Amino acid sequence: MSTLEIPVIIARKRDGEPIPADDLLAFIAAYVAGGVDDAQMAAFLMAGVIRGFSREEAVTLTQALLESGDRIDLSGLRGPTVDKHSTGGVGDTTTLVVGPLLAAAGCQVAKLSGRGLGHTGGTLDKLESIPGFRVDLSPEQLHDQVERIGLAVAAATQDLVPADKRLYALRDVTGTVASPALIASSVMSKKLAGGAQHVLLDVKAGDGAFMATVEAAVDLATLCVEIGEAHGRRTGALVTDMSQPLGDAIGNALEVGAAIEVLRGERSGRLRELSVDLAAGLLELTGREPAAARTEIERLLHEGVALETFREFVAAQGGDPGVADRPWEVLPVAPVVEEWRPGSGVVQGFACRRLGELAASLGAGRQRQGDVLDLAVGLEVLPRTGDVVDDGAAVVRVHARTPDAAERVLAQLDGAVRMGSDPADPVALVHRAVGFSGS
């Protein structure tokens, strides 16, 4: 691409004109190769955020990101290959339940996950709270483990979709994150590079999510599904609530323990409910009849088959398999636990993002890449919107390293959990399904 053509492409996007697929592919490739500098790419991204990208451009952007690096080849695996991706939230540890459920159901799950940043947690950090657990697997190790037990969760290598990493860093510092096409191409390029033939997206909506409204989340989910289908993958999405934490636990070891309790049949609630929805949805994408898929997932959970798969998975990646039997003896535990008891009332709602930030301030999350986490600390948020709280009952449990850290968070919970006297309706967990028959 000549230097003359680069300003022309930027100007086309500035003026709202469509960018031909070949030009867009070449533009992204030139950026990776150093022929387009950060200032030019930032101008192009800002023009795209303001003017918008078409569906066709979003598909092409995904292809451009995908072609910038390596891909995982899962074609030799025996079972249907499946993957689940959440757009991020608070108290969301469904991967640790959904993965074992799907592997127990005969699917093969090769999941490449990330680390947490800001108010959202990362699956890799959570798993590393299990003593000995390794997340750095080679592509060969990933493939062999999935073939053997049906499940592996590992860190993505630097060679997987490198263009996305560069673009995301630039978007983060130029105010160009909020574009459905850019978000969708980023998400879907990683899912396509991961190699699974069936992909289910959990697109969050609400205060604790990147998409604040259900309408915006549905638009993003629809675009992601269209991109996946355009690239030959069976793709669906659930738009789910993140106006309140998904599970009671916010924090790495706390969330692992909560997921294990779901697998052990000892915990009900929204985390269990959504995990079943996601696992059954993915089975449906592989061709199972919807009712039969849900029945099978419930059976695998009830009979403890998924728990045994989880135990095998932990052992295969070097972790202590005893965590499946004695989670709170194996996982790190915070030395200070304090409870917030605001008195009687009705839970009106949550500042969900704020709760994630408070957990991070205890050491459960990063403010910047490279921060060292305290895997034991975090919050337990016990009621949900609409629940009646009796006088003297605990609403939030703070797990901290020191008494001072616990007191600092306790003093800020009034603004994060809204209590009142008026009745409040519970909030639906799943707002919309996209990409399924009848949706």
Both 249 and 290 in one domain: the answer is: yes
Q: What is the mean pLDDT of the chain?
A: 94
Judgement on whether residues 123 and 270 belong to the same structural domain of the protein:
yes
> Which residue is catalytic, options 86, 113, 186, 189?
186
164 is annotated as an active-site residue: yes
pLDDT score of 417: 97
Q: Structural domain tally of the chain?
A: 3
Tell how strand 108-113 and strand 151-155 pair up.
Answer: parallel
CATH, residue 350: 3.90.1170.30
Q: What is the CATH number of the domain that holds 31?
A: 1.20.970.10
The whole-number pLDDT of residue 60 equals 96
98 located within any domain: yes
Residue 244 inside a domain? The answer is yes
| 84 among known catalytic residues | no
Looking at residue 299, which CATH number applies to its domain?
A: 3.40.1030.10
pLDDT at 122: 86
User: Do residues 109 and 221 share a domain?
Assistant: yes
Does residue 63 lie within any of the structural domains?
Answer: no
Do residues 372 and 316 share a domain? Answer: no
Residue range 6-31: mean pLDDT, rounded: 94
Catalytic choice (84, 171, 233, 366): 171
Q: Whose structure tokens read 């209590």?
A: 419
Domain boundary among 326, 341, 362: 326
Per residue in 27-68, pLDDT tens? 999 999 999 999 999 999 999 999 999 999 999 999 999 999
Mark whether 314 and 343 lie in a shared domain.
Answer: no
The pTM for the full model equals: 0.94
Quick one: average pLDDT of 176-180? 86
The catalytic position among 83, 164, 202, 241 is: 164
The yes-or-no answer on residue 186 being catalytic is yes
101-117 pLDDT, tens digit per residue, is 999 999 999 999 888 76
Mark whether 94 and 40 lie in a shared domain: no
Is residue 146 domain-shared with residue 271, that is, in the same domain?
Answer: yes
In a shared domain, residues 48 and 86: no
Q: Which of the following is catalytic: 115, 119, 126, 190?
A: 190
With respect to residue 59, please indicate whether it lies within any of the assigned structural domains.
no
Predicted confidence (pLDDT) at residue 203 exceeds the cutoff of 80 = yes
Q: Give me the catalytic one of 85, 234, 272, 353.
A: 85
The whole-number pLDDT of residue 4 equals: 53
428 part of a folded domain: no
pLDDT at 433: 97
Answer with the one of 282, 309, 326 that is the final residue of a domain: 326
What range does the domain containing 138 cover?
Answer: 81-326
Verify that 242 and 352 share a domain, yes or no: no
pLDDT tens per residue across span 123-167? 999 999 999 999 999 989 999 999 999 999 999 888 889 999 899
Residue 233 and residue 260 in one domain? yes
**85 classed as catalytic:** yes
Summarised one tens digit per residue, pLDDT across range 334-389 is 999 999 999 999 999 999 999 999 999 999 988 776 788 999 999 999 999 999 99
Residue 294 lies in a domain: yes
Q: Is 80 exceeded by the pLDDT of residue 439?
A: no
Is 62 part of any domain?
A: no
- Which of residues 269, 297, 326 is at a domain's end? 326
- Does 409 fall in a domain? yes
Examine the domain organization and report whether 157 and 216 are in the same domain: yes
Question: pLDDT value at position 269?
Answer: 95
Q: Is the pLDDT of residue 2 over 60?
A: no
* Same domain membership, residue 284 and residue 401: no
